[in-house]
Amino acid sequence: MGLSFGLALCLAYIVGLLISAIAGYGSLGGVAVSWSGIAGLILLSGWGMLAPRSWRLGWQSGRWCSLGVVMLLAAIYMPLRSPVAGVQDVSQFLERANTIGTAHVVVGQAIEDPRLNRGLKGRFLVAAQALQVLDTEGAITFQIPVRGRVYVTAPLLQVTGLHAGEQVTARGQLYRPQPAMNPNGFDFQAYLTQRGSFSGLVADELTFRQATGWGRWRVRQRIVRTQVRALGSPLGQLVSAMALGRNAVDLPSNIHDVFMRVGLAHTIAASGFHVSLLFGVVLALLRSRSGKLQFVVGLSVLLGYVCLTGAQPSVIRAALMGGATLLALVTERRVLPTGALIVAATGMLLVNPNWLWNVSFQLSVMATWGLIVTVPALTRRLDWLPVMVASLIAVPIAATLWTLPLTLYHFNVLAGLSIALNVVAMPLVTLISLGGIASSALALVLPPLGGIAAHVLYYPAATLWWLAQTSGQLPGSSIAIGQISLWQVVGLYGVLLGLWGRSHWGQQRRGWLQPVLVTMFLILIVGPLGWRWATQDQVTVLAAGNELIWVEQDHGQTTLINSGDAKTAFYTVEPFLTQAGVNHLKSAIALPLGADYRRGWQTLLAHVPAEHLYSPEATDAELAADSHFHQLQAGTSTTVDRLSLQLLGIENPIVRLSDRQSWLLLPQLPLATQEHLAQMGTALQSEVLVWAGEALSPALVQAIAPKVAICYGSQLPESLERQLQRQGIQIFWTQRDGAITWQPRQGFRPYRLTPHRTPAF
């Protein structure tokens, strides 16, 4: 079997997995998956028999048929390996446990070290062994052996000292993870499913047996403590993350957010870059030694680093390619980087095909491919520069170019300064990463010596942190471009492959081809976005717990009513605006719907500024640092863009909106207040009522006379829903239906009942 055909088999396997995954079926019964694999088999077989010989790469029809068989088997293999809750999984007993008891106890073994979430609570996975259900007095009413993974969150003090492998008893409340309820919202259910977990537990009491002896966690702890003592916080954690990856270090969320926004996230994630640095240093130190010694030491270092970083997909991929290089040194053979990449990726997907949709795996593979095929061409064009400078420029350009379609698809954001920032930061990143790895090695042997080595990195780390923060405040550092579709990703990679093929096969005579391909690349990104901006016309009521969030998008002009608290603004409102390609608000209407509503606006406006800010409270003028402030008066109408806005109360901020249809937005109101409000009569009439879900006064409903009612609260009594339906009112509930979108032609559509793709985790 020739090498080229072997690589073709690997690619056929990957394509088969893609077919299965894109079809979206999670079981073997997915008819579309099977038929798509069979169609691929027939097409490839027909190609092998009917295509001209010059197009068949010199292969017989049997080989083409083999490729089709591999695609078919891969399409069947993917759903077989998809995570599914077993018969004894904790999630299978969740409803029963909630029915017969008030508290739940999960006994099991911690799978990972706890990490802090943004609420400063510990989060970790537990391999469950037993489930107990307690009554109101704390007595066990139900106990059963169980299996499966449970996602546990617990107070910080409760998880202090807990590490992977320890026996845990967690008492709290079991729940079933929720899917995404808003466009670009966090799909908690899919996130846990990818990790093999189908249930969660909010723990209020946690007990465990303190571990003794050595383990991977103690090695990490020794390294991180040494570097934090030498550099302080947060620079100590930053250096540790740049040496071991952020999954091995509890990195503060503000560092992660800044590095993510400016396109430096790869520097704090254990990746092929770190493995390459480590691998290069080892080979440089052992260059005068025998090939066998280089193989043994290099392989030991690679395995140790993979274990220390937590066996992340990007590190495993780089380690496999490094191992192939070591094997080539021993056998005195040449390694083809492209072949090593394809074989390494195929081997990983054979072990775990679900890594195919792991974002870090995708970015690692495409960045490596870009370095292999594009860096040589770029360095040739930059031959007028010193070799080191040309490499510093070529590497980030190549990696960014080949990962751009994926980053746009998954994150909907373009880091406009990413390439320039990476070029400037690369010397610092290299120095800090190598120094951090050296400091880590010394800390294991002699912590004071590791601290001295880490202290040398203070100014480089401080400079990098300042550079990232400063870049994040510059215009264009993070541009929301909106959600792009899968066909755009395929088209973008098709153009990139066309550009690579032109350069690879030396088709320099066709000078017109390169400008055409570059123009197509830009059109594929900008064209659909421009069309959406020109035609978009919709109103959305977001699913945000008990918060009322109302958004109007009118041909590129966005009006937002309420941002919720800081958590809602960060997790719900900002992701929605990002997927919509909103970089600034035309109008922001800040209503005192919550005690801490100002913190929500501060969180949101820091990243999505508003041109105009409206509020009934004069003190909110402080929020409008870069906006024109307008104070709303109760009882008077204000024109906001095309909207006519009338504030009917300040203590209870009731808002009536009129455009092509009328909306009445109600906060939570007592029945007595509703009866008093109903006396306004026909002045309240609105086609759409948006309310908090509490009981509604019949007189108020009669005065409003709505055709549609949207409940944004956490409770909607069934009796009230039936009563409104009997009056011919269409009912939506964001807690059940997800975000509710209205468009002039389509009318009202609930997010949970419309097709959409799962966002990145």
pLDDT digits (tens, 9 = 90+) for 403-413: 999 988 888 88
Helices then strands, counting H and E runs in the chain, come out as 27, 24
> Comparing C-alpha atoms, which of 304, 303, 282 is closest to residue 294?
282
User: pLDDT by residue (tens digit) across 501-528?
Assistant: 766 555 555 566 677 777 888 888 887 7
* Number of residues in the chain: 761
Task: Judge if 57 and 8 occupy the same domain.
Answer: yes
Task: Judge if 249 and 276 occupy the same domain.
Answer: yes
Q: What is the reported pLDDT for 528?
A: 74
pLDDT-based confidence at 214, cuts 50/70/90? low
Q: Is residue 31 scored above 50 in pLDDT?
A: no
Peptide bond into 447 cis (omega under 30): no
Q: Which of 41, 62, 80 corresponds to the end of one domain?
A: 80
Task: Judge if 27 and 100 occupy the same domain.
Answer: no
Region for 161 from its dihedrals, namely left if φ exceeds 0, alpha if ψ lies in -120 to 50, beta otherwise: left
Task: Judge if 103 and 192 occupy the same domain.
Answer: yes
Helices 359-381 and 272-285: crossing angle, nearest 10°? 60
Tell me the mean pLDDT in the region 464-491: 86
- Is 521 part of a structural domain of the chain? yes
Q: Which residue has the tokens 């920032």?
A: 421
Q: Say if CB 143 and CB 132 are below 8 A apart.
A: yes
Task: Judge if 526 and 561 occupy the same domain.
Answer: no
> Comparing C-alpha atoms, which of 565, 594, 677 is closest to residue 119?
565
**From 7-16, 35-44, 153-162, the region with the lowest mean pLDDT:** 35-44
Encoded tokens for 515: 């400008």
Task: Judge if 38 and 136 occupy the same domain.
Answer: no
Give the Cα separation of 665 and 550 in Å (integer): 9
- Is 411 part of a structural domain of the chain? no
Say which CATH number the domain at 747 has: 3.60.15.10
CA 701 to chain centre: 42
Task: Judge if 466 and 490 occupy the same domain.
Answer: no
- Is 406 part of a structural domain of the chain? no
Task: Judge if 341 and 361 occupy the same domain.
Answer: yes
How is 584-603 classified by DSSP, letter by letter? SEEEEE----STTHHHHHHH
- Is 413 part of a structural domain of the chain? no
Q: How many C-beta neighbours within 10 Å does residue 630 have?
A: 15
Q: Which of 212, 246, 281 corresponds to the end of one domain?
A: 212
Q: What is the reported pLDDT for 202?
A: 93
- Is 392 part of a structural domain of the chain? no
Task: Judge if 311 and 436 occupy the same domain.
Answer: yes
- Is 395 part of a structural domain of the chain? no
User: pLDDT by residue (tens digit) across 653-698?
Assistant: 889 998 888 999 999 888 888 888 888 888 889 999 999 988 888 8
Q: Which residue has the tokens 């079926």?
A: 25
Q: Is residue 296 scored above 80 in pLDDT?
A: yes
User: pLDDT by residue (tens digit) across 372-414?
Assistant: 888 888 888 888 888 888 888 888 888 888 999 998 888 888 8
Q: Rounded to 5 degrees, what angle do the CA atoms 7, 372, 264 make?
A: 125
Q: What is the reported pLDDT for 689?
A: 94
Task: Judge if 318 and 338 occupy the same domain.
Answer: yes
Characterize the bridge pairing of strands 103-110 and 167-175: antiparallel
Q: What is the reported pLDDT for 531?
A: 78
Task: Judge if 131 and 191 occupy the same domain.
Answer: yes
- Is 644 part of a structural domain of the chain? yes
Instruction: State the chain's mean pLDDT as an integer.
Output: 84
Encoded tokens for 286: 């052992």
- Is 656 part of a structural domain of the chain? yes
Helices 216-231 and 458-472: crossing angle, nearest 10°? 90
Q: Which of 158, 189, 212 corresponds to the end of one domain?
A: 212
DSSP class of residue 89?
Answer: B
Burial of 59 (0-12, 13-18, 19+ CB in 10 A): middle
Q: What is the reported pLDDT for 27?
A: 40
Task: Judge if 207 and 296 occupy the same domain.
Answer: no
Q: Rounded to 5 degrees, what angle do the CA atoms 215, 451, 305 make?
A: 40
Show the domain range for 597.
Answer: 536-753
Quote the number of domains for the chain: 5
pTM of the model: 0.86
